[in-house]
């Protein structure tokens, strides 16, 4: 099936009344920002909207308007249409996404991950977009509907967080023009940046201590791990490490950074970052994950030490010139 246009997707949404929306597990600012932003736009068009995310909203996003409406399980249907945002495959949507319970309602996926598996009936995947929130603005334009202040605040939060304050290599003139539009609609860039980017829970800062003591460097790859014992030591609950992997890549000696995190179920979550021009999305995809060329991740079998031994050579191989052995 050829890709639908954004106006066709707008047409499907316009013709629907009961709309169920999902975003990815361990939600970030773009997941929550695009979920809430599209939620506002749809409600303003008179739609009955239900927003679902399996995991709690991170504390730095709780100021976003409408956040209290996000449920962690969908109520009973039926639904006219389902929307999946910022998620490249079905497992990313977590346990609340049960295709069997959706009564055959068509699924629209809207995403900017290059690794998106196009698992919907209508898929709009734009890897040139810096955030799914940016695509939601394009969708509103294709639909011809206005962007109100609460929607603008949520969408700008998505754009600010996914570009780490407009610093990533995918920040184009269109991204800045989109941000300007959202500011014109009433979103406060300085306040959103302050609340989302300048935020690290004390427990996460404490966790960086033992994690940084385990730092390893091999050639241009820098990495560390976060164990269950470290979390217990500093009494950091399971959850975010507040961008430890991005911090590691600030070392000028490093081209690729990785953080291996031991999860309560024994699996290992791998966060990857790379400098512009490199691509670690393919490594993440081959390991069952996904992401962007410069920011990707996956979840692999433990134990931790074995995961590191297996994955570090794959990262070193990304840096090898083609054909060299």
DSSP 72-128: SS--S---SEEEEES-SSGGGG-TT--GGGGTT--EEEEE--TT----SSEEEE-TT
Residue choice 27, 70, 85, 86 for contact with Mn ion (CB under 5 A) = 86
Rounded least distance, CB 92 to Mn ion, Å: 11
Q: Is the dihedral angle over the CA atoms 270, 271, 274, 278 positive or is it negative?
A: positive
Rounded least distance, CB 253 to Mn ion, Å: 28
Stretch that binds Mn ion, among 66-74, 81-89, 100-108, 296-304 (CB under 5 A): 81-89
Rounded least distance, CB 138 to Mn ion, Å: 14
Q: Which is nearer to Mn ion, 29 or 220 (CB)?
A: 29
Q: Which is nearer to Mn ion, 105 or 133 (CB)?
A: 133
Torsion of CA 171, 175, 177, 180, to 10 degrees: -100
Q: Is the dihedral angle over the CA atoms 62, 64, 65, 69 positive or is it negative?
A: negative
Stretch that binds Mn ion, among 40-48, 75-83, 99-107, 154-162 (CB under 5 A): 154-162
Taken as a whole, the chain contains a residue count of: 325
Q: Which is nearer to Mn ion, 83 or 105 (CB)?
A: 83
Stretch that binds Mn ion, among 9-17, 127-135, 178-186, 208-216 (CB under 5 A): 127-135
Compute the distance between CA of residue 290 and CA of residue 283 in angstroms, rounded to an integer.
8
DSSP 246-273: HHHTTSTT-SEEEEEEE-TTS-EEEEEE
Residue 112's alpha-carbon distances to 1, 52, 57, 125, 307, in angstroms, are 19, 20, 21, 5, 28
Number of amino acids touching Mn ion (CB under 5 A): 4
Residue 321: CB atoms within 10 Å: 5
Rounded least distance, CB 292 to Mn ion, Å: 8
Q: Does residue 162 bind Mn ion (CB under 5 A)?
A: yes
Compute the distance between CA of residue 258 and CA of residue 251 in angstroms, rounded to an integer.
13
Rounded least distance, CB 114 to Mn ion, Å: 11
User: Which residue of the chain is nearest Mn ion when measured via CB?
Assistant: 30
User: In the block, which residue shows the tokens 């692999």?
Assistant: 300
Rounded least distance, CB 38 to Mn ion, Å: 13
Rounded least distance, CB 6 to Mn ion, Å: 17
Residue choice 13, 19, 29, 30 for contact with Mn ion (CB under 5 A) = 30
Residue 164's alpha-carbon distances to 87, 123, 194, in angstroms, are 19, 26, 11
Q: What phi, psi does 124 have (nearest 5°)?
A: -115, 100
Rounded least distance, CB 289 to Mn ion, Å: 14
Contact, 111 vs 88, CB < 8 A?
Answer: yes
Q: Which is nearer to Mn ion, 30 or 60 (CB)?
A: 30
Stretch that binds Mn ion, among 88-96, 124-132, 142-150, 296-304 (CB under 5 A): 124-132
Q: Which is nearer to Mn ion, 42 or 160 (CB)?
A: 160
Q: Which is nearer to Mn ion, 130 or 257 (CB)?
A: 130
- Segment (H or E) for 23: strand 18-23
User: Where in 254-313 is the site for Mn ion (CB under 5 A)?
Assistant: none
Q: Does residue 60 bind Mn ion (CB under 5 A)?
A: no
Stretch that binds Mn ion, among 84-92, 143-151, 240-248, 309-317 (CB under 5 A): 84-92
In the complex, which residues of this chain contact Mn ion (CB under 5 A)?
A: 30, 86, 132, 162
């Amino acid at each position: 099936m050829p890709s639908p246009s954004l106006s066709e997707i707008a047409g499907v949404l316009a013709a629907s009344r009961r709309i169920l929306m999902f975003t990815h597990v361990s939600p970030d600012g773009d997941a929550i920002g695009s979920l809430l932003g599209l939620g506002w736009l749809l409600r303003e068009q008179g739609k009955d909207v239900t927003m679902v995310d399996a995991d709690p909203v991170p504390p730095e996003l709780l100021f976003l308007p409408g956040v209290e409406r996000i449920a962690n399980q969908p109520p009973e249907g039926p639904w006219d249409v389902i929307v999946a945002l910022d998620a490249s495959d079905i497992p990313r949507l977590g346990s609340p996404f049960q295709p069997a319970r959706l009564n055959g309602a068509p699924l629209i996926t809207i995403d900017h991950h290059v690794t998106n598996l196009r698992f919907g009936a209508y898929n709009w995947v734009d890897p040139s977009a810096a955030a799914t929130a940016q695509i939601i603005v394009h969708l509103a334009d294709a639909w011809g509907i206005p962007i109100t202040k609460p929607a603008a605040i949520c969408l700008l939060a998505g754009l600010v967080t996914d570009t780490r304050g407009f610093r990533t290599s995918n920040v184009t003139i269109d991204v800045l023009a989109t941000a300007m539009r959202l500011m014109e609609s009433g979103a406060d860039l300085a306040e959103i940046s302050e609340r989302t980017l300048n935020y690290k829970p004390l427990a996460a800062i404490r966790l960086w201590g033992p994690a940084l003591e385990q730092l390893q460097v091999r050639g241009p790859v820098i990495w560390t791990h976060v164990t269950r014992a470290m979390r217990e030591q500093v009494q950091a609950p399971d959850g975010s490490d507040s961008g430890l992997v991005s911090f590691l890549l600030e070392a000028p000696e490093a081209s690729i950074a990785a953080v291996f995190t031991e999860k309560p179920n024994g699996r290992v979550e791998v966060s990857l970052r790379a400098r512009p021009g490199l691509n670690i999305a393919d490594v993440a995809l081959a390991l069952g994950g996904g992401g962007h060329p410069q920011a990707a991740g996956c979840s692999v079998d433990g134990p931790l030490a074995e995961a590191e031994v297996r994955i570090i050579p794959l990262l070193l191989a990304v840096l090898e010139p083609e054909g060299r052995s």
